[in-house]
Structure 1
Amino acid sequence: MAIISTNRLALVLLSVGIAGCSVNDAITMAISKNPQTAFRKITKNNTERHIKKKIGSRELNEIYALARADDPQAFIETKAIIYTRSYVNKVLARLTGDIRVVWGNREIITPSNKRYVKYTENYKSRAIVHFDKGLVTVETLDQKQSQQSLQRAIVSTLLTPDDPRAVDLYSAKKIKLSGRPYLHGLIEDQKGRTVDGPKTAESYAKYLLSNRYKTRTVKTAKGSEKVHYVQFKMVSDYQNRQAQNYKSDVVKYSKRFGVSKSLIFAIMKTESAFNPFAVSSAPAYGLMQIVPSTAGIDSYEFVKGYKHTPSKEYLFNSHQNIELGTAYLHIVDSRYLKKITDPVKREYATIAAYNGGAGNVFNTFSKDRNKAAAIINRLSASEVYRKLRDEHPRSETRRYLTKVLDARKQFINI
């Protein structure tokens, strides 16, 4: 009797679900020596073209490659990422289209990992918060009531709550203003008072309109239009204040999962610059930039005891994001990299793995994981660091390791 591997079975289920294969066809493919060839033969070219339209040629080739490999976990993770990424891209494309209609091609600004962007007033007003620069820009294209629209947008920006249920980054829906602002402690008015409630927000908005109001001209579908805007900075030590805002959670989960506080803070700064609404195309969400279908599933199961894919709303919640992110650092350290015996070397590897995966950490030293672990254990900590910094297969991860270690120095005494 032929034994069907997990990854082949997954490909079978995928083909039945997407391509509409019969059960007999699915069985034929599952027991074939080359599932890719069988898949193409059974589904024929027209169906394959249909599938490529649905998930993309590159993604389909990834599925073929993984179907030939004996790595079912990688298959499942890749499939999940493919569909999640596809959904996020569709949402982002819709948002981009809505922005283009109002602002034109040259003024399309969308949320990212270190930049909060929120549109309101039918996309005519927007707030842009650069967490890596500590700079806030609020602007509007409303020509009839520019001052009133700009004032509303400023107040809304200052009082936006640290609550993902109140904020939809992918639409122009109005923000529900209630609870503690996510910019709490980061903005001070002209008198040095913390802006943290309706009264101080209204007062500061009026001051900004009287003293910081500016205009610029942009080209939209309607022609040349005037943008009315204000800019203001966060407090000078905003990053330390942000760290203080999340300190209680960091301390709590640092103790629970045995992860250094300074490392958690450094990961947060490097991943999102402390932007609780951070998003990326991975797709990853929140302070510690967790990908729901990979790190999200692993850490959620570890914390809650059952498998579940956390939503972006769940990950935008700073308490939950720090919990899962710290749990994932623990998982990487104690599970995926447990063959590395020295804690300093293992920490370097954990930082690199958080960004580029444990597999790539081992591949830096050898394609064989056991050999790679033996090499790492034989080298000094500084040699392991240099190897990861200079020879890791992903340039992003090489830079990431250095950034995290540099950022960590800032939070040693917090």
Structure 2
Amino acid sequence: MKPWFKIIKQSSKKYNVDSKLIESIICIESSGHIQATSSSNAIGLMQIKPYSAGKEVYHFKGRSGQPSIYDLYDPKINIDIGTAYIHILQCQGLKGINNKEILRYATIVAYVNGTNALLKTFSHDKKKAIKRINKMKKKEFFSHIKRKHPDLQAWKYLEKVMIIYNLI
């Protein structure tokens, strides 16, 4: 991710998000290709969907609407929105998870499948879900996602991102 290193570092600092996590997600999402577009219309380096994560980040920043497709092909804008979205996941949707490693794993799963899908595997009540997660060890969390998450992609994505994360 050397071409994007400076942008990643700036966004990491701006939103207080682990730069290795950003790099790992970019690697898995787009392999560093700025023109990457998925079949579900996720765009750019961090595979942002303008009408979901993009719209949520705009709301977080006090803006209306959503980013344009053109904007999401711009590496600086894409990384900024992707990193802001990770910040939102960690500081709002997953707020209260105490273990930093488990928060990282939960963030990765939430990034690909959404916070609600993740938390509902623990409890339909967010506070109870967070409390249950806080009682877990790293291996228990991994095992839970593998066994209980309704989308097999969640487990595979977590595994792939963590392989890259550990190599950086």
TM-score after normalising by structure 2: 0.94
Pair 1:246 & 2:7 matched: no
Residue of structure 2 equivalent to 1:369 = 126
Code of the aligned partner of 1:371: K
- Which of 132, 138, 143 is the equivalent residue of 1:386? 143
Size of the aligned set, in residue pairs, is 168
Q: Within 2, Cα distance between the matches of 1:355 and 1:258? A: 20
For residues 390 and 405 of structure 1, what CA distance do their matches in structure 2 show? 18
SS in 2 for 1:277: coil
Q: Distance in 1 between matches of 2:74 and 2:110?
A: 24
Q: What is the Cα deviation at residue 302 of structure 1?
A: 2.7
- CA radius of gyration, larger in: 1
Q: Distance in 2 between matches of 1:405 and 1:347?
A: 9
Post-superposition CA distance 1:108-158 (Å, at most 9, x none) = xxxxxxxxxxxxxxxxxxxxxxxxxxxxxxxxxxxxxxxxxxxxxxxxxxx
| Cα distance between partner residues in 1 of 2:58 and 2:81 | 6
What percentage of aligned pairs have identical amino acids?
A: 35
Shift of 1:292: 0.6
**Following superposition, which runs of at least 4 residues in structure 1 exceed 3 angstroms of deviation?**
none
Cα distance in 2 between the residues matched to 1:260 and 1:354 = 14
Partner residue of 2:36 out of 252, 255, 278: 278
Query: Do the aligned residues in 2 keep the contact of 1:389 with 1:402 (CA within 8 Å)?
Result: no
State the shift of 1:250 in Å.
0.4
Per-residue CA deviation, residues 46-100 of structure 1 (Å, 9 max, x unaligned), is xxxxxxxxxxxxxxxxxxxxxxxxxxxxxxxxxxxxxxxxxxxxxxxxxxxxxxx
Q: Give the Cα–Cα distance (whole angstroms) in 1 for the partners of residues 164 and 147 of structure 2.
A: 19
Instruction: Tell me which protein shows more helix as a share of its residues.
Output: 2
Within 5 Å, give how 1:9-408 maps onto structure 2. 243-303=1-61, 305-408=62-165
- Structure 2: how far apart are the matches of 1:373 and 1:352? 14
Which structure has the highest strand share of the two? 1
The one-character-per-residue Cα deviations of 1:213-258 (angstroms, maximum 9, x if unpaired) are: xxxxxxxxxxxxxxxxxxxxxxxxxxxxxx1100000010111111
Deviation at 1:300, TM superposition (A): 2.4
Q: Give the C-alpha shift of residue 301 in structure 1.
A: 3.1
Provide the rounded CA distance (Å) in 1 between the counterparts of 2:131 and 2:107: 16
Q: Which runs of 5+ in 1 are unaligned?
A: 1-242
Distance across 2 between alignment mates of 1:368 and 1:263: 28
Asked if the contact 1:285/1:312 (under 8 Å) is kept, the reply is yes
The two structures have a TM-score, normalised by structure 1, of: 0.39
Instruction: Give the RMSD, CA atoms, in angstroms.
Output: 1.3
**Structure 2: where are the runs of 5+ without partners?**
none
Q: What is the CA-CA distance between 1:299 and the residue it aligns to?
A: 1.4
